[in-house]
Amino acid sequence: MKVQIVYSSLSGRTKKVAEAIYAGVEAEEKALIDLKDGEPVLDGDIILFGYWVDKGGPNAQMKALLPKVEGKAVGVFCTLGYYADSEHARQSLLAGIGLLKEKNTVIGGYVCNGALSEAVIARFRQAGMSGPHSASPENEIRWKVMQGHPTAAECALAAERFRERVEIFRAFAAQGLTFKSVL
């Protein structure tokens, strides 16, 4: 069984999660693919897609790739500079899954706290900017604390989630059982 982990990372946080998943997944063949190197040939039996959240969903490069995927077992993970257990995070994950679920089997998903890049924070701090992303005492605290994310524990959980789902998918296939999408 071949597993491909395809990711897009702005600040290195999504890459860190992708690398942890790659290290944790057991497969006869596996590949770690950065979208910055161009659109890959998607020939894995299972393809795990990771992206940084931009405007409530996959960043543009990942958003363009996902609808092209068909007939695969897929998983989706994302990082965002907001609370991973928030409704915004859930919707950001579902936005990626929504681009895949009709033509593929979704084996799992994972949302991870990330951190905003310094460039994005600087833009949010610009004078006159208002709204939920503007500089505020609350956002400054969150930005500072989340600079340490993803943590080793978050990376380990992502790796465990997809290690387990790949194992289950493989066992189902070996017994001729159909894995039904979980999301």
Could you tell me if 143 and 116 are in contact, meaning their C-beta atoms sit under 8 angstroms apart? yes
> In terms of DSSP bridges, do strands 105-113 and 73-80 run parallel, antiparallel, or are they unpaired?
parallel
* Spatial separation of the C-alpha atoms in residues 136 and 134, rounded to whole Å: 6
Is the predicted pLDDT of residue 119 greater than 90, yes or no?
A: no
Distance CA 68, CA 64 (A): 8
For the chain, what is the mean pLDDT?
94
pLDDT of residue 164: 97
Segments making up each domain of the chain, as ranges: 2-114+150-174, 116-148
* Residue-wise pLDDT tens digits, 32-88: 999 999 999 999 999 999 999 999 999 999 999 999 999 999 999 999 999 999 999
Give the three-class secondary structure for 39: coil
Q: For residues 147 and 117, what is the distance between their CA atoms, to the nearest angstrom?
A: 9
pLDDT value of residue 96: 98
Token representation of residue 154: 């978050």
3-state secondary structure of 93: helix
Specify the CATH class of 2-114+150-174 in words. Answer: alpha beta
Find the mean pLDDT for residues 121-140. Answer: 82
